[in-house]
Every structure is written in C-alpha cells, then in structure tokens.
Structure 1
Amino acid sequence: MVREITRDIKQLDCAKRNLTLAITTLNHLHMLVGGVDTLKSLTQKRLYGEIALPLQAISEVMTHFENYSDIPQIKSLSSQVNSIRSELAHQITHDFKEAFLGSNSKSMIPNKQLAQACLVVSILDPKVKHDLLKWFVNLQLQEYNHLFQETEDTAWLDKMDKRYAWIKRHLLEFEERLGNMFPENWEVSERIAVQFCHDTREELSRLMAKRKSEIDVKLLLYAIQKTSAFETLLSKRFRGVTIEDSSSPSQRTEGDLNTSKFHGLIGRCFIPHLEIYIESIDRNLADLIDRFIQDEKQTKPTEATETQAAILSSCPDLFVFYKKSMIQCCQLDRGQSMLSLTAVFQKYLHEYAEKLLTNNLPKFETQTLGSSVQSFTKDLQKMSTTGLIQNFSSLLKEGETTRFTRDEQTKICCILTTAEYCLETTQQLQDKLKEKIEPNLADQIDLSKEQDHFHKVISNCIQLLVQDLENACEPSLTAMSRIQWQNIDAVGDQSPYITSITTHLKTTVPVVRDNLAHSRKYYTQFCIKFANSFIPKFIQIIYKCKPINTEGAEQLLLDTHMLKTVLLNLPSIASAINRQAPAAYAKVVTKGMTKAEMILKVVMTPIDPPKNFADQCRVLLPECQLTEFCKILEMKSVKRQEQAVLIDAFKNKK
C-alpha cells in the first residue's frame, strides 16, 4: 500500500532531477558557447586582465561536460577551449621573452599587462608556469654564471664571499624593480635563490674535483664558513617552499626536522673533501699529545682537594678539543666524516692512555733485601724476647725495600683519578657521537676498547699502590719468619714487627685515601686488593715460623689478633673521622685473619690423642687440605713416625 502511494512521488522526483540536470547543463552550455567566443576575442586583443575570470569559469564548466565528450558539438567546444589555452600559453611566453630579451629589454619596466598575464598563467596547465619560471630564473642567473665560470679568478674558494655578495645585491635589485610583477605565491625571489644554490654547488663540485691538490684545510674551512653563513641568511629570509626535498637519507635525517631546508644546499659539495679537515684534526691532536708529554715532565703531581679530584691538567684540555671538533664536524657533515672523526678520537684516546698515563706511572727498582737482613736475622736468633722488642725497630730499617716517595704515590693516585675521569667522559663522548651522527650510522660508534684502556690503567695504579704497601711490610714479615719462636719464654705486648707494619700502614694509607677522596669506589678496591694479597702472604709466613713452642704460638696469636684489629680499621686508619669499613672489605679481612688465628689455635692443641687433634683441626679449619695439615705438624716439630698416625687420623676424619 505504501509502495502504491509513493509510486507517483518517486516518478515526480526522478523527473525533477532530470529536469534540473537538463536546465543546469543547458545553462553551462550557454556559458561555454558564449565564453569561448569572448575568450577568442580577448586573447587576440591581449586583454589578460579580462581573461582570467572567464577562463577560470570555462575551465570549471568543462569538467561538467567530461561525460559528454562523445557529442560532436561538445567535442568541438572542448577542442576550441584547449586551443585557446595553448594559444594563451604561447602568446604570454612570447610576451615575456620579448619584454626581457627584445630590443627594449634594457629599459624594460614592469607593466600591468605582464602582471595580469601571470594571473592567466596560474589558471593554465601547471607546466606552462613551470617552464616560464625556469626560463626566467635562468635568465636572472645568466650574469652570475658568466662572471663566476671556472676560468675566472673569482670562481675559486678564496673568493666565496664575492659569489654571495652578487646574489644578495641581485635579489635586492630584482625585488625593487620586478618583485610586484609576479604573484606573491610564485615565490620568484626564493626560486632565484634556490637555483643559485644548485648552480653554485654543481660548479664548485666540478672545480674542486679538478683542483683538489690546491685545497688546504684553512681554505676549505673558510669556504664552508662563508657558505654556512649564507645558507643561514637564506633560511631567515625564505621559507624553502620551492625546494624539492630530493636529498638522500645520508644528506637529511630525522634530526633535520628542525633544520632549515637551505642547510647544506650548497655545502654538500664540500663533504667529499672533508678528509682534509679530518687529517688536520689528526695532526693537531698529535701536536697536542706531544705538548702534553713535554708539559708533564715539568709539572709536579697534583694533589686532591676537598672539592676536586686530582687530575692531569691535560685531560680536560683534550676533551675540550674533542668537543669543539665534534661540534664543528657536525655542522659540516653528520655522515661518514663523523665516523672518520670518531676513528681519530679513538686513536688519541689510546695514545693518551699509553703516553700520558701508563708511561708516567712510577716503576719499582728491583732490589733484594741483601746481606743487611741476613745479618739482622742472625742477631735476632741470639736475642731474648726483651732484647727483641728493644732492638727490632732500629735493625728493621736496614732491611727495607725500595719504596715510592710520597710524590710518586700522589702521582699514581693522580693518574688513577685522571683515568677515571677519562673513563666517564669517554662514555659521555660515545653517547654524544651517537646522538650527533646520522641514526643509521649510530651503531658503528663504539668506544668500549678505549674505555677498557682506562680500566686497565686504573687496575695498574691500584696494583702499584698495593705492591708499594706490600713492599713496605715485606721486611717485617721476613724478620717475623726468622725469629726463633721456640725460644720465646713469655708472652708480652705485640711484637715490634706488628708495630712496624702498623706504622707503614699509618704512613702510606692516608696519602692514598686523601688523594682518592673523590674516588671512594677505587679506594675501597685498593683496600680489598691489599687485604686479598697481604693476608695470604701473612699466613704463609706463619707456616714458616717453625719450630714454635706454646709461648711462641701464644705470642704469635696475640700479634695476629692485633694485626687483625689494625686491618679492620685500615680504610680509616690515622683519620680524624672514624668511618666504618666497607662490608666487602671487612668480610675479606675477617675471613683471612680468622683463618690465621685458627691455624695458631690448632698449633696450640696437643697432638695426643691423634683423633682429637684431627677433630680439632677439622672444627677450626673446615677447609684445611692435607698440605696445610702437614705444615701445621712441621710447625709443632712432630716427628716423622708420629706424623703418619696424625695424617691417617686426618684422612679418616675427612
């Protein structure tokens, strides 16, 4: 029923649509027929000001008849419109060439007819505007290309400023004389500037390839500086809307989003020659390292202050030079040149680590304890405990090994903190280089080997400081092993060799601590390495204290306990501030010195019955091996046949 009711309405709607379309089409056809005649007349009279609007209207009407192109009359009208458009394109192009190349071109002033012709060109096929502008822009640069052709003196890099002076002057003259003739959205001034950049880049590329041997770094950087300044000027004056961004990824990167399109428009031509710049950086760094080496020979080692770590003054200078070079190179090229610069940086970081740090570390002079210690220990054998305490210190001095002076200790600390500074700054340098270089090359930046060099220097410094402290304690340990421990008849205060070791620790450690005040991590490492090296040596010396009687073992146990107390306090020894030792260090000392105490407690245990002795050894020294067990028996002077029984008991217990 609804369909029946609405059937007539649908018919009426369809008829209305068809009628409306027919009327609209007839109106358009009327406009087209009349418009074509009008356009023909206006074109012949060159009345461009009156052509623009009807031409625009007819172009829009023609789109309405695209579906009717098979109708002969429509086809004929379409052909006439195309013919008019073609005639206008030819005619306007001719008018421009006549105006700018004809006999009166010298006195040519912008006229209204050409300005109106530009409005017509904007409606025609875009190719017409493109070809007209291309011709006009090339015409504007004719004089430039003649004045600066490669045979002229002005063409070479040392006259770069003259090129840019010419275009600046020419653009000012153009805008003053002809600027108003062209529509603003044609951006004619910018087009002239952009084409100037393209022409200049291509010409310079050819010229530099031919005269490569004449380019030095000073000349290259001068040309780049003038070019960069000019590109910056263009970026402030123009928007860059006419620049076709045809550059490859190696020329433009994600980081260029905030960079002007003019950046590198000319400057790209210098990139193939930047190896000259990289080579100069290499030479400058070689000279800088040589100067650092000479300066280092004449300066005293720097000491740390409360606010600043002691580092070689050459170190910040090196990284300041690196930073300036990186910024400069980044402005020139963020591609392969940055990789080449990184390789140069790596080379001189290695050289700095080798020549300024490793080669300046003090060296030990090898020296044996000599006859003085031998005669000294012979005297010890004849002394009682009392005599030992009274004469130990004076005799001990005769047997001291070569030590580093305070200045040498300070120098080692200074080199350590310099290496630490280099280590941290090299990491920052790597991060910066990755940030500055083109993203697709960032993975190729890796300064881990250079960081390893500085790690190695730090380890060497710590090892030297540890060795120096061990050398200080060596005579005391040697003397300790030569004491006739079986002759000790009474336990007294701590023995002089412990006092001597303590004195050396109090003298040396504060120097290291003060100079590594800003490197607590490495100071703690120094303490741990010393403990890890010194305590096993001390234990080996205990095994050499043979034969030993009970009083001797008690005296040695007292000495060991006193040394343990001193070592636990080592990180803050002789300091006004009594800071608790780092947990990692305290653990090493406690474990090592407790073992030394336990060895002596086992030595003091009666060997009879054998099983009890073996049990006690197992309880006090759970990790004791057979070789150590045998050493303990030697300390107690156990006879061979008794040793066999005890060894069996030890093995069975195991």
Structure 2
Amino acid sequence: MLVEGVDSLKVLTQQKQYGKIMLPLQAVMQVMQHFNSYMDIPQVKQLSDEVRQIHIELAQQITADFKQAFSGQNSKHFNQLTEGCLVLSMLDPKVKKDLLTWFVGIQLQEYAHLFDENQDFAWLDKIDRRYAWIKKHLLDFESKFGTIFPQDWEISERIAVQFCNVTREDLTKLMYKRRAEIDVKLLLFAIQRTSNFETLLAKRFTGTTLELSDMSEAKKPTNANEESNIAANTAEEEQSKTENEKPVISPFANLIGKCFEPYLYIYIESLDRNLADLMDKFISDCKTQPPGAKDFEGIEGPSSVLSSCADLFVFYKKCMLQCTQLSTGKIMLNLAETFQKYLREYALKILQNNLPKVGGSTGLGSSMSSITRDFRDLSTSGFIQNFQSFLKEGETTRFSKEEQARICCILTTAEYCLETTQQLEEKLREKTDKCYAEKINLSQEQDIFHNVISNCIQLLVQDLESACEPALTAMTKVQWSTLEVVGDQSSYVNTIVAHLRQTIPSIRDKLSSCRKYFTQLCVKFASSFIVKLVQQLYKCKPLNAVGAEQLLLDVHMLKTALLDLPSTDYQVQRKAPATYTKVVVKGIANAEMILKIVMAPIESHNDFVKQCRIRLPDLQVPEFQKILDMKGLKKTEQLQLMEQFKQLENSNTSLDTRNNTAQDSPEHEAGRIKRLEKLIKKRI
C-alpha cells in the first residue's frame, strides 16, 4: 500500500492534480505512521524520505503557482489554487504561514505607497482615508478572490489585522517625528476615528487569527517541566481574570489605538487648563455675587448645594467617560491626580474662602495664607488646630442671618463633595486597570472636605456661644450673697433660652439634608457651653444658701432647655439623640453637684471633704479651692479644709497604688489561678 501510494503521489504531483492528491496523500501519511518504529530498515527509510520530498515539492509548487497567479496576470489557474490550498492545509504549517505572510503583504503594497510618511494623506487629520481605503480594498478582495481560500483561513481578517499592525507602526514613527504638531483636538479626533474603526472590525471579524497568534507566542516551552509550569500559571491567571477582571474586551480594541497612549498627556494637560479656567470662573462668580445672593440665599428653609459644585462633578463625569474611551491604563491615574488637585482648590478657594470672617479683619481673613499653606501641604491634622486658633483671635462678633445661611450652605456643599468624592474614587478604581487602580486614593481630599465641615460647625458653635456670653457674664454680676428668696428662673436664663429658640430652628432647617452634622453641632455647643457655665459658676462668689438654691434652679432650667435643643420649636417632637443627651446630663450633673456642695453645711471638716470626693470623684485641688471661695469661708477655715482635702487625696492615691501592686504580685496571681481551678472542677 505504501509503495503504490508513494508512486501514485509522484505522478499526481508532476501533473499538478491537486484535487486528486488529497486522499492518497492523507492515506500515505496515515500508513507512514505505522512504520515510524522501523526507520532502521533501509527500504522503509527510503520511502519516508520520498514522502518528505513529495511534501517539499508540493509546497514549492503550490507556492510558485500562487506567486505566478497574483504577481503576474495569469488568472486562469485560480480553480487549481483552491485545491492547492486544501493540500497546503495538510502539509507543514510553516508553509501555509509563509504563503499567507507573502500574500497579505502584497495586498497592502498599495496602502504602503499611498500613505507613506511623506504623503499628505499620512497625517492624523486625514486618518479617515486610511480606514476608507482598507474597507474598499477588503470589499474588492472578497468579490474577486474570496472563493479561492478556505473560510477557516480567514484571509480578510488576516489582511485587516496586518493593516492594523502596519498602521500602528507607521503612526508611531510619524507622531514621534511630528509630535510638536499634535494638539488635543487633533489627538482626540484621531483616537475617536480609530476607535470607531476598531469597533467596526470587532463586529465584522471574530478575532480568531489574533487569538491564535497570541497563544502561539505565549506557549513556547523548552522542556516538559517548563510546559507544566506555564500550564499551571495560565490556569491561575485565567481564574484570577474571571474573578477580578472586567468583561472580555474585543481583541481588536486598541490594536491601533495603543500608539496614541504616549501622547495622552496632551489630553491631561488640556483638561488641567480647562479645570483651571472653570475654577477661575467659580472664583469670579463668588466675587461678583455678594454674600446672601443667589446660591447663598435661603435665609429660611433648607440650604442648597452650591451650583458650582454640581458643575464641577458633571465636568468630572464627562472627563472620566471620555478618558476611559481613550485608555484605562496609566492615563486614568494621571486623571485621578488632576481631579485631586482641583478638589483641593475647590475646597479652599470656593468653600473655605467664602466662609464669613470672624471678628472682622482680625479673624479668618488675616490668617488665610496659613490655611492655603495647610491645603498645599495636605497637613490636615494641623488644619483644624490652626482654624481653631483663628477663631480665638477674632472678636465675639455675631453673624448676620445671611452669613449664617452662607455657613450652612457651605457645610451642605462640603458634605455633598465628601460623598461624591468617595463615589468618584470607587468609579475611578472600577474603570482603571488593576495594576493602577490600587494607586488611586482620594482619602486626603475627603479629609479636607471633612475639615471644611468641621470649620463650619465650629463657626456656628462660636456664634451660638457669642450670644450666650453676655448672659453668662451677667450671671456673675448678681449679688448672690444677698438673695433672700428663690424665685422663677433668672433673667440671664431667659436671655439664653430665647436666643437658642430663635437661632437653633433656623440652623436645623438649613441643615435638614445632613442631620448628623446638626447633631454634631448640638453636641459641640452643649459641651462647650456647659464648660463655660461651670467656669462662670465659680465666679459667683460668695453665695448664701438661697443664692445657691436659685442658681441650682437656673442650672436645672438650662438643662431642660439644652435637652430640648435639637427639637426646639419643631412641629414633630423628636427624642434627642442618646449621645447628645448623655453629654448634657453628665455635664450639667457636674454643675449641680458643685452647687449642692456649696449648699451643704460643714458639720465636720473630714465629713465635708469626704462628701465632696463622693459627689465629685475627679475634683482637683484648684476646683476645691474655688468651691470654698463660693461658700465665702474664712481663710483659716479654708486652709484647714484644703489640708484635709490634700491628706484624703494622698491617702487615696497610696491606697490605689497598693491595690494595683497587690493585684500584679505573684501571690495575687497564684490565688486567682487557684480560684479558677476550683471553679473549673466544680463545673466538671
């Protein structure tokens, strides 16, 4: 069978009977496999060499036929070429590969000539003509020669892929030479047209030839161990991709477009300029628009977010969508850095700079350069401390309703910026390649918006305190030692309560969209107010029993007013948050205990000091001295009580030390272990 088959193949090869060669060739190749282990027999070796020679002759002969048909004008052998393709598919794959490389090359000869780098058509502004040429050429090719090649050879796709490779290389060289001529408009035009063309290819072709070439390059093991390692790594990569990566992208995506990536910095630079112009517009609008107008108005009702804030994030969204169409690689990291820069600028120049100045020119305004430095250095921890020192520098000047409304508006805007920045960070990471996504971090910008919110709350708290200070000062002017009867709450209490009822509902309404920050405001005010109340109580000296009782009544009324503070004049009565109630109850209890100690008679120095320690466990020597001053005691009696207080304090300290030492001793530890062992035995 083998001898007859080889003789038959020789004759058919000489006659170029490609249609009749296929079956005998396939049969001979199968039979030849049975003799692989008998190659040491001369006759078998000779037959094997003859078969190999027939393969070589067929390959050379069919390749020559193709070159004659397509290089010259001899088209009468095209039917024979179709049969020749089927024969080539059975031979060494390299023969087919070499033929296809040559054939695809001659298909793109005209393209290389028309779009040579010296031709006008070659530049980016006429990139459409490149894609129009290949579309027309593929249509002509398929109508004339589409039936010659087997479908699984994917000749049209191979031509298109090679066109993409050639175009990418040509554009890379050309753009490098003429990089000074590239502006953002031209770059985006070229990228958009290229992306449209790549999308068209993805719809028209399967990408099989691209996938096959990628696989052949990826798998080139030198030995069995390396092959198994590559297989294992590939399996792990595929698993991680399915778990972490985005949906599969078309193999044609960015096939040409990757040549534009080195020039995407032009897009980022343009974006930076546009954002700088946008920021200048926002600043200009703030200067020409007086406080209390347009965005800052709304003295009654909820505060709205500044329109400039919405404009900024809409612009960000458009930029992000556009950038993801260009690339999802390093450019997205550069985009995030640009976004960060202008988030910081917005927080400083639009929000922080528009907060009302405290105490005229001596407050926030005079220290703005320090804030600017804080923002630039991103030292957010020092930012709040500096801001609080600015507040202390200013005089106690009340804000107008317009200024109060402006602070609330900036607070709600900062909260919106904070939440949107968090979402922006998530979106940027989601749309960026994994290797760069982990580097995107907008936490510092979120901290800055947090600081703006804190500063707004601090300003509102200080404003509330400023209105209460005159009344607290008036409390210390009362002759508490001459009071003869306890009456209704004092006038200074009425003043404080009236101020809170007038101011709090307005602030609460404006901060209705961010209730948690209104709660923070109430907590901070209550904490600060109670501390100042206690400080002023110490100044009410000397006190008689009636005066102390009157002050106790006043403190109780202030406690009631503070507990009702979050829902003051609210249509629906809400229970104050537990955190706030705890702050008020604990703080006022301290003030009440001080007054109760002042009211208590001194029957025995030792008993009085012990009662003080029981009622105020954290009482220190300076505060105890102030309480004695409030009672109006003589200096000699004060000295005796102070001595008694210090002795009790020292004895308590030494007792605590002994207890701690005993608990830490080995004997104490051993006793604990024995008790634990007994307990375990009982349970078992």
| TM-score where L is the length of structure 1 | 0.86
Moved more, 599-608 or 143-152: 599-608
Q: 1:164 to 1:363 in 2, by over 3 A?
A: same
SS at match of 1:123: coil
How far, CA to CA, are the matches of 2:398 and 2:247 in structure 1?
61
In the TM superposition, what is the alpha-carbon distance from 1:616 to its structure 2 partner? 3.1
Instruction: Summarize the alignment of residues 207-606 of structure 1 with structure 2, pairs less than 5 Å apart.
Output: 207-243=174-210, 244-245=213-214, 255=245, 257-297=247-287, 298=289, 299-301=294-296, 303=298, 310-365=304-359, 401-606=396-601
Structure 1 gap segments, 5+ residues each: 1-30, 369-399
Deviations 1:451-470 (A, max 9, x none): 11111111111111100100
Deviations 1:270-296 (A, max 9, x none): 001110011111111111112222233
Moved more, 195-204 or 356-365: 356-365
Whichever of the two has the greater Rg, that structure is: 1
In the TM superposition, what is the alpha-carbon distance from 1:592 to its structure 2 partner? 1.0
Aligned to 1:145: 112
In the TM superposition, what is the alpha-carbon distance from 1:617 to its structure 2 partner? 2.2
How far, CA to CA, are the matches of 1:334 and 1:303 in structure 2?
43
How far, CA to CA, are the matches of 2:299 and 2:76 in structure 1?
78
SS at match of 1:58: helix
How far, CA to CA, are the matches of 1:167 and 1:130 in structure 2?
22
Aligned to 1:9: none
Aligned to 1:169: 136
Q: Please, which of 89, 98, 123 is the counterpart of residue 90 of structure 2?
A: 123
Q: 1:305 to 1:62 in 2, by over 3 A?
A: farther
How far, CA to CA, are the matches of 2:260 and 2:130 in structure 1?
16
How far, CA to CA, are the matches of 1:515 and 1:532 in structure 2?
22
How far, CA to CA, are the matches of 1:256 and 1:409 in structure 2?
48
Count of equivalent residues: 587
Aligned to 1:198: 165
Deviations 1:110-149 (A, max 9, x none): 7211111111111111111101111000100000011001
How far, CA to CA, are the matches of 1:113 and 1:611 in structure 2?
124
How far, CA to CA, are the matches of 1:502 and 1:236 in structure 2?
73
CA contact (8 A) 2:359 2:396 kept: no
SS at match of 1:493: coil
**Identical positions, percent:** 60
Q: 1:153 to 1:236 in 2, by over 3 A?
A: same
Matched, 1:187 2:154: yes
How far, CA to CA, are the matches of 1:339 and 1:315 in structure 2?
22
Aligned to 1:17: none
CA contact (8 A) 1:419 1:454 kept: yes
Q: Please, which of 634, 638, 643 is the counterpart of residue 643 of structure 1?
A: 638
In the TM superposition, what is the alpha-carbon distance from 1:549 to its structure 2 partner? 2.3
CA contact (8 A) 2:295 2:304 kept: no
In the TM superposition, what is the alpha-carbon distance from 1:550 to its structure 2 partner? 2.3
**Equivalent residue letter for 1:453:** I
SS at match of 2:253: coil
How far, CA to CA, are the matches of 2:356 and 2:421 in structure 1?
25
In the TM superposition, what is the alpha-carbon distance from 1:488 to its structure 2 partner? 2.5
Aligned to 1:87: 57
Deviations 1:534-558 (A, max 9, x none): 1010110011112222222222111
How far, CA to CA, are the matches of 1:110 and 1:488 in structure 2?
127
How far, CA to CA, are the matches of 1:619 and 1:141 in structure 2?
98
**Equivalent residue letter for 1:59:** M
How far, CA to CA, are the matches of 2:563 and 2:586 in structure 1?
11
How far, CA to CA, are the matches of 1:81 and 1:601 in structure 2?
117
In the TM superposition, what is the alpha-carbon distance from 1:487 to its structure 2 partner? 2.9
CA contact (8 A) 1:614 1:646 kept: yes
**Equivalent residue letter for 1:364:** V
Deviations 1:203-239 (A, max 9, x none): 0000001111000000000000000000000000000
SS at match of 2:95: helix
Aligned to 1:46: 16
Q: 1:304 to 1:211 in 2, by over 3 A?
A: farther
Note the aligned Cα RMSD (angstroms): 2.2
In the TM superposition, what is the alpha-carbon distance from 1:521 to its structure 2 partner? 1.4
Q: 1:447 to 1:518 in 2, by over 3 A?
A: same
How far, CA to CA, are the matches of 1:610 and 1:193 in structure 2?
103
SS at match of 1:311: coil
Moved more, 114-123 or 227-236: 114-123
CA contact (8 A) 2:422 2:442 kept: yes
Matched, 1:37 2:7: yes
Deviations 1:568-593 (A, max 9, x none): 11111121111111111111111111
How far, CA to CA, are the matches of 1:256 and 1:513 in structure 2?
45
How far, CA to CA, are the matches of 2:307 and 2:68 in structure 1?
72
CA contact (8 A) 2:295 2:306 kept: no
CA contact (8 A) 2:303 2:405 kept: no
SS at match of 1:242: helix
How far, CA to CA, are the matches of 1:41 and 1:408 in structure 2?
104
Structure 2 gap segments, 5+ residues each: 219-233, 235-239, 363-394, 650-684
**Equivalent residue letter for 1:190:** E
CA contact (8 A) 1:302 1:312 kept: no
Q: Give the ranges of 4+ consecutive aligned residues of structure 1 lying more than 6 Å apart after TM superposition.
A: 246-249
SS at match of 2:245: helix
Q: 1:110 to 1:432 in 2, by over 3 A?
A: farther
Q: 1:169 to 1:367 in 2, by over 3 A?
A: closer
SS at match of 2:484: coil
How far, CA to CA, are the matches of 1:430 and 1:242 in structure 2?
38
Aligned to 2:609: 614
In the TM superposition, what is the alpha-carbon distance from 1:256 to its structure 2 partner? 5.8
**Equivalent residue letter for 1:635:** M
In the TM superposition, what is the alpha-carbon distance from 1:109 to its structure 2 partner? 6.6
Q: 1:607 to 1:194 in 2, by over 3 A?
A: same
SS at match of 1:489: coil
How far, CA to CA, are the matches of 1:568 and 1:32 in structure 2?
106
Matched, 1:64 2:64: no
Aligned to 2:365: none
In the TM superposition, what is the alpha-carbon distance from 1:609 to its structure 2 partner? 3.5
In the TM superposition, what is the alpha-carbon distance from 1:366 to its structure 2 partner? 5.6
In the TM superposition, what is the alpha-carbon distance from 1:442 to its structure 2 partner? 2.4
Aligned to 2:373: none
How far, CA to CA, are the matches of 1:606 and 1:441 in structure 2?
74
Q: Please, which of 70, 93, 97 is the counterpart of residue 100 of structure 1?
A: 70
